[in-house]
Amino acid sequence: MLAVLRNRTYRHLFTAQVIALIGTGLATVALGLLAYDIAGADAGSVLGTALAIKMVAYVAIAPVVGAIADRLPRRALMVSADLIRAGVALFLPFVDQVWQVYVLVFLLQSASATFTPTFQAVIPDVLPEERDYTRALSMSRLAYDLESLFSPALAAALLSVITYNWLFTGTMLGFLASAALVVSATLPESAASTAPRTGGAYAKATAGTRLFFTVPRLRALLALNLAVAAASAMVTVNSVVYVRDFLGRSEGAVPLALGAYGAGSMVVALVLPRVLDRVPDRVVMLRGALLLAVVFAALWVITAAPGGSWRWPALLGVWAAFGAACSAVLTPTGRLIRRSAPPEERTAAFAAQFSLSHGCWLLTYPLAGWLGAAAGLPSAVLSLGVIALASGLLAARLWPSRETAPIEHEHAHLPAEHPHLTDATRAGSGWRHSHRPLPDGLHAQP
């Protein structure tokens, strides 16, 4: 898997991603402490609102980025996003009003909604070979999981010698380092930059979303996103409830539970590259989604069962299984989008995935919290489990069991310089080549 790091451009971009993730993790810890300083006992409400603002920024900003990113230099776009995030981190220690926190969080997350889809769309161009790209996806999944384990530990170590305000300085330095690494990378030219300009602003902003509702396997990906959101919401929102209230364990057990989720995800991310060399994406992703429903059933048994010391190790096993199943769905997602979108629409497609997947989390996060508080944990487990099962079954129904084979066809009305014709040969008055059907307006719908 580490062989992809021999590619200098990818190595710089991956390192930029890791450093930026660590900076974000430090900011998350510092933001909680800042909210407590400003709002006291109402800090939870402040953080809840900030999380909602984060999701709204992701859902609203990413499609706009997809509309404009193909007309801007990708390096400049990512560097600008990093500089904005660094600037926000610089100002955060000086705020003393809740509304100022909300404004800065919106700016920070809007910049993240610009950087991440652009970064995701660049990697397939940097690593055109599918085998290398698959390993890069696993590396990215590992980076997210390791950050969730490493950043809190690093923050705890730093807080033993400095005040939390200095964590924002670490965040700022992380984003500046990320920007410097992006500047040092030589990025390939995007096919979208040379594509003919068609459609208005609204059409461009919704192009990626329309692609998702057009292509059967991307429609299935929408359902898979909802299944993953149901599981991740249960873990993120209710881990502390299960550990502290339901099982009566100490505060130190909460990171262990979250660590079990991350460990399960990392194990699958490590083995998936070899699995995906032999097993189709559809099989891996659908089995991962359906496994989520099984894990929810196991969680319901733990929740409904009478007390016993066995429930703590059982909960750790369930959390690890949730992480493994979510990783099986999430890791191949980039491959699916890459195969489903033509190069000139790739950024819009990744932006749509970013927006739509966070829209699912915007739905399931409050649902997990409200149901758990109002109706009890068994009701929350049952409701989110039903969502995961229904979403997995819907994805299986929407995703054709046999992928469409490449079709040889001819384009008679495209100019010779059109990026779609890079592998085509002249045939009479047109250009002939073959590939799987693409829903890009140039071909019949698959």
Residue 427 bridge partners (DSSP)? 430
Question: pLDDT category, 143, cuts 50, 70, 90?
Answer: confident
**pLDDT score, position 445:** 43
**pLDDT score, position 69:** 66
Residue 37 has pLDDT above 50, yes or no: yes
**pLDDT score, position 297:** 96
Q: What is the pLDDT of residues 99-138, one digit of tens each?
A: 888 898 899 889 988 888 888 888 888 888 878 888 888 8
User: β-strands 430-435, 407-411: how paired?
Assistant: antiparallel
* Burial of residue 309, with CB atoms counted within 10 A of its CB: 0-12 exposed, 13-18 middle, 19 or more buried: exposed
Sheet strand arrangement including 430-435: 407-411, 430-435, 425-427
Alpha carbons 134 and 198: distance in angstroms, whole number: 32
Distance of CA 44 to the CA centre of its chain: 24
**Better-predicted residue by pLDDT, 67 or 400:** 400
**pLDDT score, position 284:** 94
Q: Which residues contact 92 (CB under 8 A, 6 or more apart)?
A: 27, 30, 31, 34, 101, 104, 168
CB neighbours of residue 98 within 10 Å:
16
Q: What is the pLDDT of residues 360-373, one digit of tens each?
A: 988 888 888 888 87
Question: pLDDT category, 283, cuts 50, 70, 90?
Answer: very high
**pLDDT score, position 413:** 63
Q: What is the average pLDDT across 336-352?
A: 81
Alpha carbons 234 and 267: distance in angstroms, whole number: 20
Helices 281-304, 333-340: crossing angle, 10 deg rounding: 140
Q: How many CA atoms lie within 13 A of 95 on its CB side?
A: 24
**pLDDT score, position 127:** 85
Alpha carbons 363 and 358: distance in angstroms, whole number: 9
**pLDDT score, position 443:** 54
Q: Which domains does the chain have, with CATH numbers?
A: 6-186 (1.20.1250.20), 208-402 (1.20.1250.20), 404-446 (no CATH)
Q: Give, as one character, the DSSP assignment of residue 428.
A: T
Residue 58 has pLDDT above 80, yes or no: yes
**pLDDT score, position 135:** 86
As given in the structure block, the two tokens for residue 429 are 């008055």
Instruction: Name the average pLDDT for the chain.
Output: 82
**pLDDT score, position 405:** 47
pTM: 0.77
**pLDDT score, position 187:** 81
Q: What is the average pLDDT across 306-330?
A: 92
**pLDDT score, position 125:** 85
**pLDDT score, position 227:** 96
Q: What is the average pLDDT across 302-319?
A: 90
Instruction: Write phi, then psi, for 435 (nearest 5 degrees).
Output: -170, 170
Question: pLDDT category, 197, cuts 50, 70, 90?
Answer: very low
Q: What is the average pLDDT across 11-34?
A: 84
As given in the structure block, the two tokens for residue 316 are 């750790």
Question: pLDDT category, 416, cuts 50, 70, 90?
Answer: low
Maximum separation of any 2 CA atoms in the chain, in Å: 77
CB neighbours of residue 304 within 10 Å:
11
Distance of CA 442 to the CA centre of its chain: 29
Percent of the chain with pLDDT over 70: 83
Nearest Cα to Cα of residue 121 among 350, 353, 419, 358: 350
Percent of the chain with pLDDT over 90: 27
Residue 226 has pLDDT above 80, yes or no: yes
Q: How far is CA 261 from CA 159, 161, 212, 323, in A?
A: 25, 29, 29, 5
**pLDDT score, position 203:** 58
Q: Which residues contact 287 (CB under 8 A, 6 or more apart)?
A: 328
**pLDDT score, position 444:** 45
Q: How far is CA 187 from CA 11, 13, 366, in A?
A: 12, 10, 39
Question: pLDDT category, 424, cuts 50, 70, 90?
Answer: low
Q: Which residues contact 387 (CB under 8 A, 6 or more apart)?
A: 226, 227, 230, 364
Cβ contact 204:73 at 8 Å: no
Nearest Cα to Cα of residue 295 among 274, 316, 321, 271: 321
Alpha carbons 17 and 187: distance in angstroms, whole number: 15
**Better-predicted residue by pLDDT, 64 or 102:** 102
